[in-house]
């Protein structure tokens, strides 16, 4: 077994693919100080989602990589995107979008963003009808 094959095997020993109803692969190994997966990869400490991306795609992860599921323990490469708008919008239901667009008139865009856990720029795009189309 090559060193890379051993690293991949060690990675998957720390992945639970069965506990999540949302399809997340939950990291059961070490966490960094803010609760994100990390592990040794190619002799260095690396973020778990970046390692999962590299294993799945056969190339290093791009500089900006986001989880579409919002679960910081998830290392399922199918839940990653390079587009922050896609990652944030997948967290919102149609009800959330309608509420942002029509029901939060007494709140600032910053307050709305904090409430829904998204960027203020996304609130602006939703209100302008540029990101989500609602009836």
Domain coordinates in residue numbering, the chain: 3-82, 91-127
Cβ atoms < 10 Å from Cβ of 1: 7
Cβ atoms < 10 Å from Cβ of 48: 25
Top-confidence residue, 130 or 5: 5
Short-list 117, 21, 103, 8, CA closest to 57 = 8
The reported pLDDT for the residue numbered 71 is 85
The reported pLDDT for the residue numbered 126 is 86
- This model's pTM is above 0.75: no
Q: Could you give the 3-state DSSP secondary structure of residue 134? A: coil
Cβ atoms < 10 Å from Cβ of 25: 25
The reported pLDDT for the residue numbered 135 is 46
pLDDT average, residue stretch 62-90: 80
The reported pLDDT for the residue numbered 105 is 85
pLDDT per residue over 79-134, tens digit each? 888 876 665 666 778 888 889 988 888 899 889 887 887 777 778 888 888 766 55
pLDDT per residue over 10-61, tens digit each? 999 999 998 888 889 999 999 999 899 999 999 999 999 999 999 999 999 9
Short-list 3, 5, 65, CA closest to 37 = 65
Q: How far is CA 17 from the centre of its chain?
A: 16
Residue ranges of the alpha helices (H) in 14-134?
48-57, 84-89, 94-102, 109-116, 120-127
């Amino acid at each position: 077994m090559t060193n890379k094959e051993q690293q991949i095997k060690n990675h998957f020993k720390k992945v639970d693919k069965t506990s999540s109803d949302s399809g997340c692969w939950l990291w059961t190994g070490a966490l960094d100080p803010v609760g994100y997966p990390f592990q040794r990869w190619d002799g260095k400490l690396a973020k778990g989602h970046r390692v999962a991306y590299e294993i799945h795609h056969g190339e290093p992860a791009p500089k900006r990589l986001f989880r579409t599921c919002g679960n910081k323990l998830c290392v399922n490469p199918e839940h990653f995107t390079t587009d922050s708008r896609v990652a944030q919008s997948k967290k919102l239901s149609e009800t959330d979008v309608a509420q942002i667009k029509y029901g939060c008139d007494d709140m600032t865009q910053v307050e709305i963003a904090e409430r829904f856990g998204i960027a203020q720029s996304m609130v602006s795009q939703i209100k302008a009808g540029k990101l989500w189309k609602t009836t």
